[in-house]
Amino acid sequence: MGRFVYSMNVSIDLRIEQVPGDNGAGEWLRIDEEYHRAANEQARGVSAIVHGRVFYEAMEEFWPRAADDDSLPDFLQDYGRIWTAKPKVLVSRTRTTALHNTTIMARGALGQLAELRAVTQGRIGVGGANIATQLLRHGLLDELLLWTHPAYLGFGRTLFDDYDRPLDLELLGDARFDSGVTMRHYAILRNGDAR
C-alpha cells in the first residue's frame, strides 16, 4: 500500500501563502540550489503525484517549459523533467483535459484516491492544501514533509484549510540547509500506530 505525503513550503507559523494566490512565490521563501537539489531528490522518489487544481495549474505554468530551458540552472531543468515525467493525478471538477502524464479525477475523487493508495507501492506526493485537507479528514494522509522557511508571517493561508483537530506526529527525518530552511518529515499517527 502507498503512503500519501503532503510536501509543502511553510513559515514557522505554518502559513503557506501570505497573499492569496501567491502559489509559493512569496518573498519570504528562501529557495536556493541546495534546497532545490534536496527537493528534486524527494520528488524523484515518489511513485506518483496528486495535485488539486490551483496547485497543479501553478506547476503546469512553469515546470514543463523549465525542463528544456537552457537559460535555467541544471537543478531547475532537472525538477522540470521530474515533474513532467511523473504520473500525476489532478483532482478537479472543472478541468477536463491535462497534459504531462496527468489523469483527472472529478466526482468521487476521494474513493478513487483511496484505491490509488491501495494499489501503489511507495510514496505518493500531495501538493495543495485543499486536497491534503480532504485526505487528512478521511484518514488517508500518511505523512508530512514540511520545508520550513525562517519567516513568521502572522497571517495568510495555513497548512490545512479549516482543520482544527490535533495531530499526533512522529519525526521520521530532518535536514537543515545553509539558507536557514529546515526540512522535517513526519508520520501522522493514528490510534494504534507505534511511536
pLDDT of 21 higher than 80? no
Backbone angles phi, psi at 169, to 5 degrees: -120, 155
What does the pLDDT read at residue 20?
Answer: 72
Q: How far is CA 138 from CA 6, 43, 110, 135, 142, in A?
A: 14, 24, 8, 5, 11
pLDDT of 22 higher than 90? no
Q: How far is CA 50 from CA 15, 104, 108, in A?
A: 21, 10, 15
Among left, alpha and beta (phi > 0; psi -120 to 50; other), residue 132 is alpha
**61-114, pLDDT tens digit by residue?**
999 999 999 999 999 999 999 999 999 999 999 999 999 999 999 989 999 999
Question: For the whole model, what pTM was predicted?
Answer: 0.93
Specify the DSSP element, H or E, that contains 83.
Answer: helix 74-85
What does the pLDDT read at residue 194?
Answer: 53
What does the pLDDT read at residue 19?
Answer: 78
Backbone angles phi, psi at 149, to 5 degrees: -95, 145
For the chain, give the number of residues. 195
What does the pLDDT read at residue 24?
Answer: 59
Q: How far, rounded to the nearest angstrom, does the alpha carbon of residue 164 sit from its chain's CA centroid?
A: 20
What does the pLDDT read at residue 191?
Answer: 60
CATH assignment, 3-189: 3.40.430.10
What does the pLDDT read at residue 82?
Answer: 98
**160-184, pLDDT tens digit by residue?**
998 989 999 999 999 999 999 999 9
